[in-house]
Amino acid sequence: MRKVEIRFLFDSSGDAEVVVKSLGPEVEKRIPKTTVKLGFDGREMVLFISAGDTSSLRAAVNSYLRWIETALNVKGVL
């Protein structure tokens, strides 16, 4: 089992909350060979991903990083 924990520090707790809420539906989906947990406390968000193999882990990390970037970009436009 491959695992990664990524911590993000946002400019505000509001930014962290927006990202966590945006990713909620994705975290709840079942992805084969992959487990995702997401939490936040204040300005910090923690993303934990575990996967059965390196390629699944890489794919999940890349997807979540893109979704986080997209959520922040959309928040900036609104």
Residue spans of the domains in the chain: they are 2-77
Of the candidates 69, 64, 72, the one whose C-alpha atom is nearest the C-alpha of residue 18 is 72
| pTM flag (> 0.75) | yes
Half-sphere exposure of 74 toward its Cβ, with a 13 Å CA cutoff? 10
Cα–Cα dist 36/42, whole Å: 20
Overall fold of domain 2-77: TATA-Binding Protein (3.30.310)
Q: Residue 66: what pLDDT?
A: 97
pLDDT at 77: 66
More confident residue, 38 or 31: 38
3 state DSSP class of 40: strand
Predicted confidence at residue 78, as pLDDT, reads 62
**Dist CA 32 CA 54 (whole Å):** 13
